[in-house]
């Protein structure tokens, strides 16, 4: 078995970056035309899909054929599902409040500010976080036990994310739930089943790239960065800051795990401390 093809992998980096940038620029143009930058969230999943497909094409003649196809399909399924879900969720709505607050900080041209701080930044993050997807395309070893574990972790994450999104969409569709906090189904076990699902997806993709120590070393930064974004960056932290003042959220947060799923805490009896 030959060693890891460093030169071929290095040649993949620029086209992968170009694919992510192209998606971001196209979506940016559409967003400017429509007057809403919430479309940047749709571009996130599409950009990962584009990187996976470009890397698959670029790696022809390198790597294990089954492994290359598996990680490409896994990334595309996750990315396209996410893009479609976010597009449907945002249909008919105005600007996302997160982007409104961000763009309010612009001291100059808001459009150029959005390009720099949203689209170009997200494009760079897509390129960095997609390193397992790129590196796995060049692993010469056949699919092994770590990759199988990775597929199972990825599938669990995708299911968790999709089910959580579906449950939330159904909850919001009922007018009787207007203004209420979603605390049912997976949302009773974790305040962020969709973010936890993303966490599993990217650790699963990383494991799929661990058929060689070189690919593992190249791509470990990816799940670490994604975990930080989901828990401390633009994911959980930012969303909970936005929801902190909503009626019922403090009670919901007190009984429900902030990230990793667990059974909800029982409400404290009158005069007793809440059970921890």
Across the range 151-173, mean pLDDT stands at 96
Return all residues near 182 (Cβ < 8 A) that are at least 6 apart. 167, 168, 171, 172
Q: Please give the residue that has the higher pLDDT: either 225 or 273.
A: 225
Question: Backbone dihedral region of 23: left (phi > 0), alpha (psi from -120 to 50 degrees) or beta?
Answer: alpha
Question: What's the pLDDT score for residue 55?
Answer: 98
Least confident piece of the model among 10-19, 137-146, 243-252: 243-252
Band of pLDDT at residue 255, cut at 50, 70 and 90? very high
The whole-number pLDDT of residue 276 equals 34
Q: What is the pLDDT of residues 43-81, one digit of tens each?
A: 999 999 999 999 999 999 999 999 999 999 999 999 999
**Neighbour tally for 148: CB within 10 Å:** 13
What is the signed CA dihedral for 8, 10, 15, 20, rounded to 10 degrees? 130
Q: Alpha-carbon torsion 155, 49, 39, 198, what sign? A: positive
Torsion of CA 168, 189, 148, 210, to 10 degrees: 100
What is the structure's pLDDT at 1? 45
Between residues 94 and 229, which one has the greater pLDDT? 229
DSSP string, 37-78: GGGHHHHHHHHHHHHHHHHHHHTTTSS-HHHHHHHHHHHHHH
Give the pLDDT band (50/70/90) at residue 268: low
Condensed to tens digits (0 to 9), the pLDDT of residues 90-140 reads 887 877 777 888 888 888 888 899 999 999 999 999 999 999 999 999 999
Pairwise pLDDT comparison (267 vs 225), residue with the higher score: 225
10 Å CB burial of residue 109 (0-12, 13-18, 19+) is exposed
Rounded distance, CA 107 to CA 118, Å? Answer: 15
> Residue 83 and residue 101: Cα distance in Å, rounded?
23
Range ranked top by mean pLDDT from 92-101, 189-198, 259-268: 189-198
């Amino acid at each position: 078995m030959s060693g890891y093809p460093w030169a071929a992998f290095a040649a993949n980096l620029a086209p992968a970056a170009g694919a992510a940038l192209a998606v971001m620029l196209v979506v940016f143009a559409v967003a400017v035309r429509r007057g809403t930058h919430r479309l940047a969230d749709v571009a996130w999943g599409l950009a990962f899909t584009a990187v996976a497909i470009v890397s698959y094409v670029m790696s022809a003649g390198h790597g294990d054929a089954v492994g290359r196809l598996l990680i490409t399909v896994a990334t595309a399924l996750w990315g396209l599902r996410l893009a479609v879900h976010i597009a449907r969720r945002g249909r008919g709505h105005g600007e996302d409040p997160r982007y409104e607050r961000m763009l309010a900080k612009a001291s100059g041209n808001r459009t150029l500010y959005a390009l720099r701080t949203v689209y170009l930044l997200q494009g760079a993050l897509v390129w960095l976080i997609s390193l397992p997807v790129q590196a796995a395309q060049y692993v010469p070893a056949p699919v092994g036990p770590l990759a199988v574990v990775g597929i199972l972790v990825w599938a669990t994450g995708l299911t968790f994310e999709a089910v959580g999104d579906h449950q939330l969409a159904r909850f919001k569709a009922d007018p009787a739930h207007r203004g209420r906090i979603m605390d049912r189904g997976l949302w009773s076990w974790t305040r962020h089943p969709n973010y936890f699902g993303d966490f599993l997806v990217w650790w699963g993709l990383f494991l799929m790239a661990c058929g060689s120590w070189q690919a593992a070393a190249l791509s470990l930064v990816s799940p670490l960065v994604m975990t930080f974004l989901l828990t401390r960056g633009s994911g959980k932290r930012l969303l909970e800051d936005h929801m902190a003042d909503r009626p019922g959220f403090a009670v919901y947060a007190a009984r429900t795990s902030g990230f990793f799923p667990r059974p909800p805490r029982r409400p404290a009896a009158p005069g007793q401390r809440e059970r921890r």
